[in-house]
Amino acid sequence: MLRITADVFSGRQNPVWTVGEERTARNTLRALSEGSELLTEDAPARAGVGFRGLLVESLSDEAAPDLRLGSTTYLPVGREAKGPRAAELAERLIGLLDRVDTSLDTEEGVSLPEPLRPFLTTQLTTATEEGSRSGVSIQEGGQETSESFTAAATCYYDVTPFNPGFWNDDQNTRLRNNCYNYASNWRNNTFAQPGRGCGSQYTALTCAEVGRGALCDGMHRRYDCFPDSEWPRHLVALVIWPNTDFHWYRLQSEGYWAHKPGSTAARNVDNSNRVINNPETCDRGPYTQFCGYFYGCHTQRQRIR
Amino acid sequence: MDVEVCLYSGRPNPVFRLHGVEREEASRRLGALVAVPDRSVPPGGLGYQGFRLRPTSTDGSSDAGPSEVGDAGDQPTVTGSSIMEYAIGGGLVVARGADGGVRVSLDPGRALERWLADRSTRALTEQEIRLVEGSLASEEDPRSDFPR
């Protein structure tokens, strides 16, 4: 027998159903085992509200002796999903609700949304859409980093796939958006200048002044965390051509950094045509001064001008 | 005919305009270029990259520019009216068409780039003039051997 819990509510009891038929239980466990890379031992600590995942408990140890699954396993969905197939597996688990040998376990006096299956399917769709929208959230801090200090706080930032066509395909877009637009992931055709959006543009082309302008727009220095509500919180890096110009890089979900030098095309390579794995050490031409890392956020990017 | 001096990433680049005789001369020089088939377009980067010339002014007024980019064997001709911009630098001229097509030509000795640099001084600061002159002095045709 299998017991499945939809981890969807915060205050009230989660829906729980039991699959009684052994063959169905075994086939379900086999499907989970084949997607073991999508599973975790327990619910993620930071899953937030909404449909977080499904807890699957095997109620007998003979259910699947040849399947390498623990007696309990968890399938995260939405933004914590381990892959696109997680939603497919979740749908299969929810689909078991329609089987005649499945019983819904409810505590006395507790009512669940009726009908339950379409309710959970809708919740799953919403969570999956939000998950794909948010790309990947990365936790950092509280550990050794390349920075010279250990962060006191644990921060999350968000990364999205490199999408140069969004910036390069249209000539007007390419010409009217610069490195600060790209770092902020905000294509508003303003050739944005740090601080201009908040009414206090930089007054010198130094790390301190351009950084001040970006902070005024709403960026934070690295390890000064933003809440989830400020999605997307991009990790960006500022460099300076001393007393001449500024430039920004943004970390992508592929693990490399990308940038848009002024009105030219967005790219993920440096001046030596090498993929940028580290903005501190890549070939930056005359932009010799590395100022440090910042987090962008939703409020900041809407403010840039 | 607007010309942008490609120097900066964050700040807006200096821009100047070619009128009258200068515009005719630019059209003549562009029209004399011979396209190189199957040539890769160098990615460019940070720092001085050359000049970007737009036959159509940014205010929307039409400026025919050159009638065509010289033909290269059986390559199709890119007519001036379809060209959105020319990127001139490092010994190459990259013409980008309105349809996204690209034609690459050689600029031997960076002659066209140097001609534009001479005209750009009216729009540049002393520091910017030194940056452009420094780049033109240090490298003869840095991109002309960019891999095909």
CA pair distance B116, A253, nearest whole angstrom: 41
Residues 6+ apart with CB under 8 A from A194: A180, A201, A202, A210, A211, A213, A214, A216, A217, A246, A304, B10
Confirm or reject contact between A247 and chain B (CB < 8 A).
Answer: yes
Asked if the Cβ–Cβ distance from B47 to A286 is below 8 Å, we say: yes
Tell me which residue of B6, B9, B10, B34 sits closest to B90, measured CA to CA: B6
Tell whether the model's pLDDT for residue A182 goes beyond 80.
yes
Q: Which residue has the higher pLDDT, A304 or A15?
A: A304
- The tokens describing B15, both together, are 């821009």
For the whole prediction, is pTM greater than 0.80? no
Which of A174, A178, A196 to mutate to test binding with chain B, by most B CBs within 10 Å of its CB? Answer: A178
With H, G, I as helix, E, B as strand and everything else as coil, classify residue A75: strand
pLDDT value of position A133: 62
Residues 6+ apart with CB under 8 A from B87: B6, B44, B49, B50, B51, B52, B93, B94, B96
pLDDT value of position A279: 97
DSSP summary character for residue B71: P
Q: Which residues of B touch A (CB under 8 A)?
A: 4, 6-13, 43-47, 49, 52, 84-85, 96, 100, 127
Tell me which residue of A3, A45, A245, A43 sits closest to A139, measured CA to CA: A45
Asked if the Cβ–Cβ distance from A262 to B84 is below 8 Å, we say: no
Which residues on chain B are in Cβ contact (under 8 Å) with A191? 12
pLDDT value of position A171: 87
Asked if the Cβ–Cβ distance from A262 to B8 is below 8 Å, we say: yes
User: Model confidence over A230-252: pLDDT tens digits?
Assistant: 999 999 999 999 999 999 999 99
User: Model confidence over B74-114: pLDDT tens digits?
Assistant: 343 444 558 889 999 999 999 988 877 889 999 999 999 99
pLDDT value of position A104: 78
Cα–Cα distances in Å, from A9 out to A6, A20, A48, A136? 8, 24, 10, 23
Of A191, A205, A286, the CB nearest to B46: A286
Q: Which residue has the higher pLDDT, A126 or A256?
A: A256
Q: In this predicted complex, what is the ipTM?
A: 0.81
Cα–Cα distances in Å, from A191 out to A123, A196, A305, B30, B113? 40, 11, 7, 29, 25
**Neighbour count for residue B141 (Cβ, 10 Å):** 16
Q: Percentage of chain A with pLDDT > 90?
A: 51
Q: Read off φ and ψ for residue B127, nearest 5 degrees.
A: -65, -40
Asked if the Cβ–Cβ distance from A263 to B49 is below 8 Å, we say: no
Quick check: A33 and A117 in contact, CB under 8 A? no
Confidence of residue B141 (pLDDT cuts 50, 70, 90): low
pLDDT value of position A147: 33
pLDDT value of position A36: 86
A11-25, A190-204, B15-29, B59-73: least confidently modelled range: B59-73
Q: If you average pLDDT over residues B107-127, what whole number do you get? A: 96
Cα–Cα distances in Å, from A148 out to A143, A144, A239, A262? 11, 9, 18, 30
DSSP summary character for residue A108: T
Residues in chain B: 148
Q: Which residue has the higher pLDDT, A285 or B83?
A: A285
Asked if the Cβ–Cβ distance from A264 to B4 is below 8 Å, we say: no
CA pair distance B116, A211, nearest whole angstrom: 35
Which residues on chain B are in Cβ contact (under 8 Å) with A205? 11
Of A169, A191, A246, the CB nearest to B12: A191
pLDDT value of position A143: 40
Asked if the Cβ–Cβ distance from A247 to B46 is below 8 Å, we say: yes
Confidence of residue A141 (pLDDT cuts 50, 70, 90): low
User: A262 CA to chain B: closest CA distance, Å?
Assistant: 4
pLDDT value of position A25: 83
Domain boundaries defined on chain A: 2-133, 138-303
Tell me which residue of B11, B22, B138, B21 sits closest to B3, measured CA to CA: B22
Q: Which residue has the higher pLDDT, A114 or B116?
A: B116
Tell whether the model's pLDDT for residue A64 goes beyond 70.
no
User: Model confidence over A75-132: pLDDT tens digits?
Assistant: 998 878 888 788 888 988 998 888 767 777 766 666 667 778 888 888 888 787 776 6
**Neighbour count for residue A110 (Cβ, 10 Å):** 9
Asked if the Cβ–Cβ distance from A245 to B85 is below 8 Å, we say: no
